[in-house]
Amino acid sequence: MARHPRIGVLAVQGAVVEHERALVDVGAAPVRVRDARGLADLDGLVIPGGETTTLRRVAGDSGLIDALRATRRADLPILGTCAGLIALADDIVGGDPTLVGGLDISVRRNGYGRQVASFETELVVDGLGDGPLEAVFIRAPVIVRVGEDVRVHATHHGHAVIVSAGPLMGLSFHPELTPDRRFHEWLVDCARAYARRSARQTKEGLGVGA
């Protein structure tokens, strides 16, 4: 039987346990990532919500940000939610430097307002399962620009709230807080493909089957 994909959950902050439960629900083996060493031998990664300033301070001081960038450049599948979306954005409005990058988008932190402006809404989603989606927005970032190579899967009041490009997906909201698992399923599907690709490249490098 094929092994469960090893999906890291960046455990610096955010709803780590909720993401772990969602990953277990879709057949993955979650792994908590607290430092650069934790990124080894992963098939995918979740960057949860929280405060990007905290992520920048804690992960930057430990060298984890640089390791995340290298992992992203190696095409590891990554799902970024809320602050995780900001981490994946190539441009953060207001002058903050890019964190991990990879998504050709511009985002504004807390664009939907502070904690008291949190809300739930129903989204129509393109290309990610059937039926509408209940989305929970908490101090959510707003995507103000989308590059031409980025796919928009859903919008809210004229702004993209679900975007993807290759093995990267970013969400303005918190999918781990609802029973809908389509985004974690997407990540696991990408992780399985990544693991197969990595295994094939390893065999080719060793000359197996040549």
Point out the residues that are catalytic: 82, 174, 176
Q: What number of residues does the chain have?
A: 210
**Strands 89-92 and 78-81, sheet pairing:** unpaired
Tell which residue, 185, 85, 82, 175, has the closest CA to residue 133: 175
Are residues 119 and 137 in contact, defined by beta-carbon separation less than 8 angstroms?
yes
* Token code pair at residue 47: 């960057």
**Strands 78-81 and 103-108, sheet pairing:** unpaired
Are residues 156 and 141 in contact, defined by beta-carbon separation less than 8 angstroms?
no
